[in-house]
């Protein structure tokens, strides 16, 4: 394993002093080190991966220096457009080094949403004509590897990828963390909300720990999972899925269990929901100010006013709470009036170390929900 400090120093020696991206569990120790050893001028945790490519482009144009962009390989989807239509050598020719966590690598056990992404990763980069190198725990000389990647980047005046395998970095714990003292964490808030369900609603939960916590609590209560869509991938699109469900199932109440990082990643969805005039959607944003599922790196969730954003987009009501009784009262109120409505729940970050994962596959989840709704799949 490589000490995050060593990799950081190598990058500094290669002329990289600006870092940006979206945190990833495989890169969390490196990202934590960067967070502790850079200023806000030198490190930006972006809303999504495409934003990071744009930021790196602006940094190069304004300084002449390349930046490092970090992300999980699932984030490549957000980055493809600016990579190919902006930074590519056939367009503006913007050099940057991408550090990409290789989730779902073949022969490495991972969650179902990562399997295909990991399997096609090298072929995808090849089809994009983006040069790539692999960093893993056994890389004997990471300085030489990074120097080669930087040389290629400068020669081609284009992005180059450093594909990082699981277990490449040794442990580093974030020192400058945001500590909150709310009465609830995310799991407690989810349990509180679930206890108020009437059993007829459709629940769309965001990727990461929120869906895992919802699944476990449903199992503990013996509720079954037929009313829930557990969004295991596609971070940032949970609200849009919920809107689609609400538009198709107008007689049912649709509850979106979202997170601050997810909302921020594709905030434009709020304008669609707000302008939809759908009365049957309740958008619950559990805000812990962190990318909790991938290392706890901070978001801007506590710095922006999610209520005002929702209201300006057209949501009929928006309420923020942080206590159990406030959550119960707000949920009852918003469930009884026409939406679209938004309920922000401010909580502490963190999750149980023994938190399990859904035992049903995504296909089984889809079929159970559609079966519950008596939906037949179109044959043509």
| Percent of the chain's residues with pLDDT above 70 | 99
Q: Name the one residue in this structure whose structure tokens are 């400068």.
A: 154
pLDDT at 378 over 90: no
Containing structural domain, residue 31:
4-164
Q: pLDDT, tens digit, for every residue of 115-159?
A: 999 999 999 999 999 999 999 999 999 999 999 999 999 999 999
| N-terminal to C-terminal alpha carbon distance within the chain | 51
pLDDT at 221: 93
Same domain, 195 and 145: no
73 shares its domain with 190:
no
pLDDT at 54: 98
Q: How confident is the model at residue 288 (pLDDT cuts 50, 70, 90)?
A: very high
User: Residues 260, 196: one domain?
Assistant: yes
pLDDT at 273: 98
Confirm whether 315 is domain-assigned.
Answer: yes
Predicted pLDDT at 294: 82
Residue 178 resides in a domain? no
Question: In terms of domains, do 91 and 227 share one?
Answer: no
In a domain, 313, yes or no: yes
- Please tell me the total count of domains within the chain: 2
Selected residue with higher pLDDT from 290 and 312: 312
Note whether 158 and 210 are same-domain residues: no
CB 229 within 8 A of CB 365: yes
The answer to whether position 181 is within a domain reads no
The pLDDT assigned to 111 comes to 87
DSSP letter string over 131-199? -EEEE-TT-S-HHHHHHHHHHHHHHHTSEEEEEE-TT-B-----SS------S-BHHHHHHHHHTT--S
My answer on whether 213 and 142 are in the same domain is no
Q: Which CATH number does the domain housing residue 97 bear?
A: 3.40.50.970
Mean pLDDT of the 42-49 span = 96
pLDDT of 142: 97
Q: Do residues 337 and 220 both lie within one domain?
A: yes
Q: Residues 351-378: what's their mean pLDDT?
A: 90
- Judgement on whether residues 361 and 226 belong to the same structural domain of the protein: yes
Identify the residue whose tokens are 């007829």. Answer: 200
Angle at 314 between CA 186 and CA 241, to 5 degrees: 50
List helix spans (H) across the chain.
Answer: 4-13, 28-37, 49-63, 76-82, 112-127, 142-156, 186-194, 209-221, 238-248, 260-265, 268-276, 306-313, 324-335, 362-372
Instruction: Judge if 19 and 151 occupy the same domain.
Output: yes
Q: Please report whether residue 192 resides in a domain.
A: yes
In a domain, 173, yes or no: no
Q: Do 64 and 114 belong to one domain?
A: yes
300 within domain boundaries: yes
pLDDT tens-digit map of 2-35 = 999 999 999 999 999 999 999 999 999 999 999 9
The predicted-structure confidence for 162-210, as pLDDT tens digits, reads as follows: 999 999 999 998 887 778 999 999 999 999 999 999 989 999 999 989 9
State which of 131, 164, 197 marks the end of a domain. 164
Q: Same domain, yes or no, for 357 and 248? A: yes
Report pLDDT for 379. Answer: 65
CA-nearest of 156, 161, 149 to 89 is 156
DSSP state of 208: T
pLDDT of residue 110: 87
The reply to whether 180 falls in a domain is no
pLDDT score, position 380 = 62
Asked if residue 192 and residue 144 are part of one domain, the reply reads no
Q: Where a domain ends, among 134, 164, 194?
A: 164
Distance set, CA 8 to CA 64, 120, 138, 227 (Å): 20, 28, 18, 46
pLDDT digits (tens, 9 = 90+) for 91-110: 999 999 999 999 999 999 88
In whole numbers, what is the pLDDT of the chain averaged over residues? 95
Given a contact cutoff of 8 angstroms between Cβ atoms, the answer to whether 228 and 205 are in contact is yes
């Amino acid at each position: 394993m490589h000490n995050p400090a060593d990799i950081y120093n190598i990058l500094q020696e290669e002329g990289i002093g600006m870092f940006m991206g979206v945190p990833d569990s495989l890169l969390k120790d490196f990202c934590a080190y960067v967070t502790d050893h850079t200023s806000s001028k030198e490190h930006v945790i972006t809303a999504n991966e495409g934003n990071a490519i744009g930021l790196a482009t602006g940094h190069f144009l304004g300084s002449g220096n390349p930046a490092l962009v970090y992300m999980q390989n699932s984030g490549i989807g957000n980055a493809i457009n600016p990579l190919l239509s902006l930074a590519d050598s056939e367009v503006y020719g913007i050099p940057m080094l991408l550090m990409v966590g290789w989730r779902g690598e073949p022969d490495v056990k991972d969650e179902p949403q990562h399997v295909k992404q990991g399997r096609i990763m090298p072929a995808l980069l090849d089809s994009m004509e983006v040069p790539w190198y692999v960093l893993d725990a056994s890389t004997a000389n990471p300085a030489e590897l990074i120097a080669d990647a930087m040389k290629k980047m400068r020669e081609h005046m284009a992005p180059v990828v450093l594909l990082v395998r699981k277990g490449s970095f040794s442990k580093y714990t974030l020192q400058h963390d945001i500590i909150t003292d709310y009465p609830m964490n995310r799991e407690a808030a989810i349990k509180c909300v679930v206890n108020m369900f009437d059993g007829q609603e459709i629940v769309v939960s965001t990727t990461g720990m929120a869906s895992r916590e919802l699944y476990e609590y449903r199992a503990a209560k013996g509720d079954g999972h037929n009313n829930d869509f557990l969004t295991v991938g596609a971070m940032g699109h949970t609200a849009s899925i919920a809107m689609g469900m609400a538009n198709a199932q107008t007689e049912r109440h649709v509850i979106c269990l979202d997170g601050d990082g997810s909302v921020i990643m594709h905030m434009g969805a709020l304008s669609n929901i707000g302008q939809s005039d759908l009365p049957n959607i309740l958008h619950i944003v559990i805000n812990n100010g962190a990318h909790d599922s991938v290392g706890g790196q901070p978001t801007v969730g506590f710095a922006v006013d999610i209520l005002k954003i929702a209201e300006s987009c057209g949501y009929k009501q928006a309420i923020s709470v942080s206590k159990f009784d406030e959550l119960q009262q707000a949920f009852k109120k918003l469930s009884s009036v026409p939406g679209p409505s938004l309920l922000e729940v401010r909580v502490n970050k963190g999750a149980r170390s023994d938190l399990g994962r859904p035992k049903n596959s995504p296909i089984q989840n889809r079929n159970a929900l559609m079966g519950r709704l008596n939906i037949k799949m179109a044959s043509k």
